[in-house]
């Protein structure tokens, strides 16, 4: 971590404002593997910007992720939607992986919605089911807060993660869909899928889902004071829990098949969030 990472986020936020015509954004949404159709379900974009034009972003190399950000308005909320992300396993440093979240926070976002595709460990989960993330296990061995302390004007790197995923936002999500389940997400570095033995270990540690993203972004967002809502789409049973093997193309396909209706759910949650903000302001 260095001053340069935060300066890069501020520079990207300034480019975002210039290219979208929006002086700031209230909410950021990061879409996971195969989730791109969810962006269409959120509504018409006021602006769409290639991430390369913002600076500081690496090009995603994984199918199911697009290097594009959309700016749109939902109710009274100005929403920034990333149609993909980068991962540690692509060879990127942590600062690059969390650059989108830091840019969104520099642009004014106080809520960050992180979505992903995951393998289901909890036996009650079914493929295509969205799960609220109640907590995570960061097993990547990395943190966006290591190294020198943050530059002046930023919070302590000893960030409190007692409520990494906002209880208030999870309550709003359940108001939109009372049937939503909650679970613990385990983040591993990948890119290989886990072994059945690793899945048994994760289950014993309390994990309900497993994937290769989200945790580092959540840490970066919480460090910058943003509330985090995490939604994981179960795209396959985890290793050893079904007779078939694991294939990324199937993960992307499962995500795409459910993404449009998940986008409708996201829209409902954001509408409730905007209403809640208006009530608080009143």
Which is catalytic among the residues 1, 9, 33, 194? 33
Cβ-Cβ contacts under 8 Å for 19 (sequence gap 6 or more) = 47, 49, 53, 54
CB 228 within 8 A of CB 116: no
173 has catalytic annotation: no
Asked if 33 is an active-site residue, the reply is: yes
Catalytic residue of the set 248, 260, 275, 276: 248
Q: How many residues does the chain have?
A: 282
Q: Catalytic residue at 117?
A: yes
Six token digits for residue 263 = 């986008």
Q: Which of 28, 212, 221, 258 is catalytic?
A: 212
Q: Is 213 a catalytic residue?
A: yes
Is 89 one of the catalytic residues?
yes
Catalytic residue among 9, 36, 67, 117: 117
Q: Which of 5, 28, 87, 232 is catalytic?
A: 87
CA–CA–CA angle 263, 226, 172 (5° rounding): 45
Catalytic residue among 48, 89, 92, 253: 89
Respond yes or no: is residue 212 known to be catalytic.
yes
Residue 236 a catalytic site member? yes
Catalytic residue among 90, 182, 198, 250: 90
Which residue out of 116, 118, 232, 236 is catalytically annotated? Answer: 236
- Is 65 an annotated catalytic residue? yes
Name, in order, each residue with C-beta under 8 angstroms of 57's C-beta and a sequence gap of 6 or more.
12, 51, 67, 86, 96, 99, 100
Q: Buried (b) or exposed (e) across 219-254, using 16+ Cβ within 10 A?
A: bbbbbbebbbbbbbbbbbbbbebeeeebebeebbeb
Residue of 104, 213, 215, 220 marked active site: 213
Which of these is catalytic: 8, 12, 58, 65? 65
**Active-site positions?**
33, 65, 87, 89-90, 117, 212-213, 236, 248
């Amino acid at each position: 971590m260095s001053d340069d990472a935060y300066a890069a986020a501020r520079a990207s936020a300034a480019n975002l404002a210039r290219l979208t015509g929006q002086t700031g954004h209230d909410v950021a949404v990061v879409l996971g593997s195969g989730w791109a159709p969810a962006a269409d379900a959120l509504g018409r974009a006021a602006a769409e910007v290639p991430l390369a034009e913002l600076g500081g972003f690496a090009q995603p190399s994984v199918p199911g992720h697009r290097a594009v950000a959309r700016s749109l308005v939902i109710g009274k909320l100005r929403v920034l939607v990333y149609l993909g992300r980068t991962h540690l396993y692509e060879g990127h440093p942590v600062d690059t992986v969390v650059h989108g979240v830091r840019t969104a926070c520099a642009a004014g976002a106080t809520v960050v919605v992180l979505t992903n595709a995951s393998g289901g460990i909890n036996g009650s989960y079914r493929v295509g089911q969205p799960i609220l993330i109640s907590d995570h296990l960061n097993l990547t061995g990395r943190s966006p807060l290591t190294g020198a302390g943050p530059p002046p004007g930023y919070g302590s790197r000893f960030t409190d993660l007692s409520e990494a995923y906002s209880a208030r936002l999870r309550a709003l999500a359940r108001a939109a869909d009372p049937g939503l389940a909650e679970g613990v997400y385990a983040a591993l570095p990948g890119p290989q899928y886990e072994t059945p033995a690793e899945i048994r270990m994760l289950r014993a540690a309390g994990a309900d889902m497993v994937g290769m993203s989200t945790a580092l972004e959540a840490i970066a967002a919480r460090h910058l004071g943003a509330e985090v809502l995490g939604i994981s789409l179960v795209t396959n049973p985890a290793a050893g829990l079904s007779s078939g093997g694991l294939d990324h193309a199937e993960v992307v396909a499962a995500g795409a098949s459910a993404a449009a209706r998940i986008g409708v759910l996201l829209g409902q949650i954001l509408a409730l969030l905007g209403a809640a903000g208006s009530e608080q302001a009143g």
